[in-house]
Amino acid sequence: MHFEIAGYSVLRTMKTLLASIICLLLGLAGGFLVGFHYSERRVASEASAHMMRLVDSDSRLEAARGIRAIELIQSGDTQQAIRMFSIPVADFYSGYAHLANNDEKTKQLLRWVEQIASTNATVANAIHGNSQ
């Protein structure tokens, strides 16, 4: 059987239409996969860059804090240096002391903070929320 409408073969038109639809779907799928892969890589790259900025910022802050502590110690103001360092120690302690699932290194550091606080009133006041 051979059908023709207005001089066009229906079977040939259907084959062409079907092939066009399949090519369109394959193109859409390929474009989606390429776009998705690019998007994943871009997000990972941006996250990595953000993390590096945070690490750099943290490194700069640590260096500035260390330099300031050295200056205070060299000038003989050791109490001010202790007060300066007791703040991040207290922040760490208050963030982790109440957690039950700390890893061993965190538990060891918490014990160390408690040991220092038992012999240093400035650190003890900082970790217990008292101000001097």
Q: What is the pLDDT of residues 48-75, one digit of tens each?
A: 888 887 777 777 888 888 888 888 889 9
pLDDT value, residue 131: 40
61-118 pLDDT per residue, tens:
888 888 888 888 899 998 998 888 898 899 999 989 988 899 999 999 999 999 999 9
Give the residue from 107, 72, 38, 103 showing the smallest Cα distance to 115: 107
For position 59, what pLDDT does the model report? 77
Query: Nearest-CA neighbor of 65 among 98, 114, 129, 57?
Result: 57
User: Using the 8-state DSSP alphabet, how is residue 125 labeled?
Assistant: H
Q: Are 67 and 84 in contact (CB under 8 A)?
A: no
Grade residue 3 by pLDDT with cuts at 50, 70 and 90.
Answer: low
Would you kindly state where each structural domain of the chain is located, as residue ranges? 77-132
Strands (E), the chain: 4-5, 8-9
User: Which tokens belong to 55?
Assistant: 């690490």
Which residues fall within 8 angstroms of residue 96, CB to CB, at 6 or more apart? 102, 106, 110
